[in-house]
Structure 1
Amino acid sequence: MLLNDREIKELIDKKEIIIEPFSYEQIQPASIDLRLGNRFRIFRKGEIEVIDPKDFKDELIKIEQDENKIIEKYKYTDVIITENPFIIYPGDFVLASIYEYIKLPRYIAAQLHGKSSIARLGLIIHTSAGWIDPGYEGHLTLEIFNTNNVPIKLYPKMKIAQLQLFRINPVERDYKEKGGKYYKEKGATSSEIWKDFI
């Protein structure tokens, strides 16, 4: 059953659903607004010939420091922005994170959607991974794609997504207990599909 605003507020007040930081203004009639974090992961163009899901581990190679913290790895670059916007160019795909830390109980599942105002700019905030299992805990990763023909500026803490919450019968084993790959993820987290081949 999809939760409404009263049910969402009640579960947050009881600390059964954790969203931090949080303001009651984020509660919509049947969802919660979520904001964009300040961490982005950009795949390095021209340096990867093909992505092999069996071998997608990565290693740190270099750290640079300027107004934005940049961490370079073999397959991608991490950018941590402060006040300046992050610019996503036409046709670019980046990973980003949600600002809020989320923790769901074993009887709540969730669905993440882009806000309509963001979609109308030509921005897709998750290319396919919008489902969140009961027991998830962490900062959700967004798979952002600019379908527009012009660059789009993204600002830290701007409203970017809506989280719908569904009450279900308590699961036998939640996301943590099943060894979820992205449990307690922080920042924009790359695919860990290689673990499926172990």
Structure 2
Amino acid sequence: MTGVLPSQRLTAMIGRGEIAADQPFATGQVQPASLDLRLGRVAYRVRASFLTGEGQTVSDRLPLFEMHKIDLSDGAVLEKNCVYVVELQERLALPAGIGAVANAKSSTGRLDLLTRVITDGGVEFDRIGKGYAGPLYAEICPRSFSVLVRPGMRLNQIRFRDGQVVLDDDALARLHADVGLVSGEAVISEGLGFSVDLRPQGTTLVGWRAKPHTGVIDLDKLDHYPVAEYWERVESADGRIILDPGAFYILVSREAVHIPPDYAAEMAPYVAMVGEFRVHYAGFFDPGFGHAAAGGTGARGVLEVRCHEAPFVLEHGQIVGRLVYERMAEPPEQLYGQGIASNYQGQGLKLSKHFQAP
């Protein structure tokens, strides 16, 4: 029964107090293979991002970097290119064999919000050691847009693991042969490789680039903001684009991917040396994503791309990332897209849910 813990196991952990919260857990907070984490009431503007370090607590370290404290109760703006630390409503008292990993939610990444979890004694972002007991904090740095946040908003999610459950390349190849994990040829090397689509059929629109000077985005407002006020169209007639240093792009994978009910996946960078860019944030893929029984026919991965120091030519079909598959300890009682609020089942090139249809 080792593997990624499904929703029913998370609910049991909540019942035992191994996952606790300041407020009652909200409807939909428990996802098929993860738990959404909620912002607390206070944000700290800090001078710089930091890790806690062994033997130290976040509350001990905050006074070294804190600039001022912000009450989020009535909503507050987190400004672009500033760093904030917010204590989350959830806290953990994990059993000895259970560890966890956190990641930004899909809509958070698509807004270019760098959002990472830190813990007491933590030496890595987004990694929670086995048996951890203590509070959780979100470090938030809006990169492209200033955002309005309130307590209870869900920017991060956390996935719990019992044991080592990542599929090696041989196991991944066998699974692809059995059920078909990706449309087209499977490129398997430390995960399932996927490439960028810069030749979509019937259009020259291949992506979106964040505008540099925009208004604030209220994260509670869905299907609200006109795309043209925040994004520029990225078009290509020849299957290539040039990424500008410092710019943030939303692109899409060429392949449609499939996550069977017994598995979960996480998007990871391909290799650091493929070019002057990074496929950033990238989140969790729940069991049932793109799965036919959950209403999917394969679903393409949305790519959150940031270019680094030099302009870089990105070409159609270039491998830009990989999916790392993990076994579930058992299938979740409800799959992604199956009667739950799953915003991105069957997606193609898609901005976050805060924007109107272009």
* TM-score normalized by the length of structure 1: 0.77
Match of 2:207 in 1: 40
Give the paired residue count. 174
Letter in 1 for 2:215: E
1:13 maps onto 2:177 in alignment = yes
1:129 maps onto 2:282 in alignment = yes
Shift of residue 56, structure 1, vs aligned partner: 5.0
Match of 2:303 in 1: 142
| Structure exhibiting the larger radius of gyration computed from Cα positions | 2
Which whole-Å CA distance do the structure 1 matches of 2:341 and 2:278 have between them?
28
Deviations 1:41-85 (A, max 9, x none): 122344x2222223353688xxxxxxxxxxx74432333434342
Deviations 1:80-107 (A, max 9, x none): 4343421111110111111100111111
Match of 1:69 in 2: none
Which whole-Å CA distance do the structure 1 matches of 2:224 and 2:257 have between them?
26
1:160 maps onto 2:320 in alignment = yes
Shift of residue 9, structure 1, vs aligned partner: 1.7
Taking every aligned residue pair, what percent have the same amino acid on both sides? 19
Please tell me whether the aligned partners of residues 58 and 75 of structure 1 are also in contact (alpha carbons under 8 angstroms). Answer: no
SS in 2 for 1:18: coil
Where does the alignment leave 5 or more consecutive residues of structure 1 unmatched? 61-71
Structure having greater relative contact order (Cα 8 Å, sep ≥ 6): 1
Shift of residue 129, structure 1, vs aligned partner: 3.0
Which whole-Å CA distance do the structure 2 matches of 1:107 and 1:190 have between them?
28
Q: RMSD of aligned C-alpha atoms? A: 2.3
Letter in 2 for 1:121: G
In terms of mean alpha carbon deviation, does 101-110 or 77-86 score higher?
A: 77-86
In terms of mean alpha carbon deviation, does 5-14 or 105-114 score higher?
A: 5-14
Which of 43, 47, 53 aligns to 2:219? It is 53
Please tell me whether the aligned partners of residues 82 and 156 of structure 1 are also in contact (alpha carbons under 8 angstroms). Answer: no
Match of 2:108 in 1: none
Letter in 1 for 2:342: G
Deviations 1:150-198 (A, max 9, x none): 21111111011111100112111111122311111112x111158xxxx
1:78 maps onto 2:233 in alignment = yes
Which whole-Å CA distance do the structure 2 matches of 1:107 and 1:131 have between them?
15
Which whole-Å CA distance do the structure 2 matches of 1:152 and 1:163 have between them?
23
Letter in 2 for 1:144: V
Which whole-Å CA distance do the structure 2 matches of 1:18 and 1:153 have between them?
28
Which whole-Å CA distance do the structure 2 matches of 1:123 and 1:145 have between them?
6
SS in 2 for 1:6: helix
Where does the alignment leave 5 or more consecutive residues of structure 2 unmatched? 1-164, 199-205, 291-298
Match of 1:68 in 2: none
Shift of residue 117, structure 1, vs aligned partner: 4.0
SS in 2 for 1:99: strand
Which whole-Å CA distance do the structure 1 matches of 2:207 and 2:238 have between them?
14
Which whole-Å CA distance do the structure 1 matches of 2:232 and 2:345 have between them?
22
